Amino acid sequence: MRRVAVAVAALAAALLIQLTIVNGLVLPGGGTPDLVLLCVIALALVGGRRGGLIAGFGAGLAIDLAPPASQLLGQYALVFCLVGYCCGRLRFTLRRSAALALAVAAMAAAVGEALAAGITLALDSPDVTWATVVQLLPSSVLYDVVLSPLVLFVVVRVALALGAGVGEPAGSPALELGGSAGPAGAAGEGAARRVGLAGAGRVGLAVCGSLRPAGDVAAAGAVGWLSGPAKSRQARRAQDRRIALLTGAAQRKGDVWVGSRPAGVRPADPVPAGRKTGPVRLNPGAGVAGSAAAVSRPAARVVPQRPVRLGLADQQRRSRRARSGGLIRSGADRSGAGRPDRDGHGVDRHGLFGSGVRRISFGSGNPVGAGRLSPGRLSPVRLGPGWLGPGRLSPGRLGPGRLGPGRLSPGRLGPGRLSPGRPGVPRISFAGGSELVGAGRVSRSRPGIPSIAFGGGSLRRAGRMSPGRPAAPRFRSESSSSVRNPAARSRPRKTARFGIGRSSVLHLPGLRRAGGRSTVWRIGSTRTKGYS
């Protein structure tokens, strides 16, 4: 709310300065800079496409209506809302590099001026001639380009001071103008500010990848040079931790975490193809599924027919949220529960993963097996039928890894596939299907590559999932037993859940669901017996 107010104030100030001072200037070339356009561009680069769209439309309409205006109503609104929207689309440039963002701003300014002149030429043709436009346009564009870094600098700085993460995960409604949801969910404003300030502190270093010796953290943005480099070792460490928070990137090569992204963690750049990284490292103590990676097991031979949903139980989510103090947001955003097309915070359908971060998606795949590792790239681990978005691997210090409840992403419907990966890379496949008799049947298809199979049960149980609750997916496995214990096949059906936390400490006795129709299975805990 405060950000919206500040954005409106900035636009109003730019408009008034433009009309009362700048337009009256007589500058060489005849043109004048357009502060409002520059302000719209900067706001769009910070606030995303919806923010840019609204800001552009509002500012344009204000220019059309502010008293000295005699042009057609809607002219500038049309131009500015287009410019704002397009700049919002190019928002990612702001956390890539300063030069890129400045180039985008300059280009957008030029395009905006040209568009405005073109519309004026088309609509006011008897008064405004081509010769006039040709004369005035270059100087106007030049002034805009010269001024755009300044305006961008000021707007970004103010936005950071207000706690707006410039690289906030796309899809978060928090940053958009008019958006009401706090970026940190339960923690709300405080966490948002914390994250934002962390962004201000760190991004700078990330601006130049060269400054960072461990190159696995992607460049985080253009803004941080404001704060300068860290001088002491402690400050550097703090910055490293912050950038891990900001970018969602792993601390070291191969460091990963499973689960949903903590609030404020920035999606890093898409992994460049062909980049080689080390094997997946999962945190054994965290109760992550990956802890089973040490046990070499072949992939499951599964022909699933129904998607298996995997997620956190509500109780676990709650306790998780309570524990994490809001900094780490648990998976499902309640407000977005009804919007399956929106990315959950645990899931990002695009470019979430930084270098060194594996993808895990849940799903039962085609007969080839769940989770195909695409060779040559970072090995995605997919759990489930692509029905859940990819989970996330985190460095351990961000919190224990977990299998996050992904928001449903219809675009990812379809079997997640694991291709034969590189040797040494563990595969985790969560398979569901009626044909899987018993729990996660294991066949050693390839020696040396461990995989974990979570057997899916019968379709009847899977069908019990209500499709109307996509935001709180839940993994239920009909199969009960461990892979090591064939005798467990005869056990009654159980539901496996993936816990968030490190151990059962998370489960306070009072919070345990009463009358549990299912048993909680936590991978890595002793209760899973065979899984740990």
Instruction: Determine which residue in the list 14, 54, 245, 258 makes contact with other proteins, applying CB under 8 A.
Output: 54
Residue with Cβ nearer other proteins (1 or 26): 26
Residue with Cβ nearer other proteins (33 or 426): 33
Buried b (16+ CB within 10 A) or exposed e, 315-327: bbbebbbebbebb
Binding of other proteins at residue 65 (CB under 8 A)?
yes
Stretch that binds other proteins, among 101-109, 116-124, 220-228, 318-326 (CB under 8 A): 116-124
Paired tokens of 385: 């039928």
* CA–CA gap between residue 389 and residue 360 (Å, rounded): 8
Binding of other proteins at residue 12 (CB under 8 A)?
yes
Instruction: Determine which residue in the list 72, 208, 214, 437 makes contact with other proteins, applying CB under 8 A.
Output: 72
Q: How far is the CB of 164 from other proteins (least distance, A)?
A: 13
Per-residue binding string, other proteins, 89-108, x by CB under 8 A, is: x-------------------
Instruction: Determine which residue in the list 24, 448, 468, 510 makes contact with other proteins, applying CB under 8 A.
Output: 24
Residue with Cβ nearer other proteins (51 or 450): 51
Instruction: Determine which residue in the list 6, 74, 323, 532 makes contact with other proteins, applying CB under 8 A.
Output: 74
| DSSP letters for 448-488 | T--EEEE----HHHHTTS-TT-TTS-----S--S-SS-GGG
Stretch that binds other proteins, among 45-53, 147-155, 261-269, 434-442 (CB under 8 A): 45-53
* CA–CA gap between residue 248 and residue 252 (Å, rounded): 12
The total number of residues written for the chain in this structure: 532
Q: How far is the CB of 366 from other proteins (least distance, A)?
A: 27
Query: Integer distance in angstroms from the first to the last C-alpha of the chain?
Result: 47
Residue with Cβ nearer other proteins (88 or 399): 88
Residue with Cβ nearer other proteins (53 or 198): 53
Binding of other proteins at residue 338 (CB under 8 A)?
no
Instruction: Determine which residue in the list 7, 14, 19, 462 makes contact with other proteins, applying CB under 8 A.
Output: 19
Paired tokens of 507: 């489960």
Residue with Cβ nearer other proteins (28 or 213): 28
| Phi–psi pair at 119, nearest 5 degrees | -65, -40
Instruction: Determine which residue in the list 4, 6, 8, 17 makes contact with other proteins, applying CB under 8 A.
Output: 17
* CA–CA gap between residue 421 and residue 451 (Å, rounded): 11
Do 240 and 215 form a contact (C-beta atoms < 8 A)? Answer: no
5-10, long-range: CB < 8 A, 24+ apart: 6/158, 6/162, 7/43, 7/47, 7/51, 7/55, 7/177, 8/58, 10/39, 10/43, 10/155, 10/158
Binding of other proteins at residue 23 (CB under 8 A)?
yes
Instruction: Determine which residue in the list 100, 103, 114, 128 makes contact with other proteins, applying CB under 8 A.
Output: 128
Instruction: Determine which residue in the list 62, 151, 302, 403 makes contact with other proteins, applying CB under 8 A.
Output: 62
Beta bridge partners of 383: 362
Binding of other proteins at residue 115 (CB under 8 A)?
no
* CA–CA gap between residue 444 and residue 156 (Å, rounded): 54
Instruction: Determine which residue in the list 41, 46, 59, 77 makes contact with other proteins, applying CB under 8 A.
Output: 77
Residue with Cβ nearer other proteins (120 or 324): 120
Question: What residues contact 400, with CB distance under 8 A and at least 6 apart?
Answer: 257, 259, 283, 286, 287, 288, 500, 501, 502
Binding of other proteins at residue 85 (CB under 8 A)?
yes
Give the total of residues touching other proteins (CB under 8 A): 68
Q: Which residues, numbered 184-203, are part of the site for other proteins (CB under 8 A)?
A: none
Enclosing H/E stretch for 443: none
Single out the residue of 375, 370, 368, 406 nearest to residue 390, CA to CA: 406
Contacts with other proteins by CB under 8 A lie at 12, 15-21, 23-26, 29-30, 34, 48-50, 53-54, 57, 60-78, 81-82, 85, 88-89, 116-117, 120, 123-124, 126-129, 131-133, 135-136, 170-172, 176, 341-343, 349-350
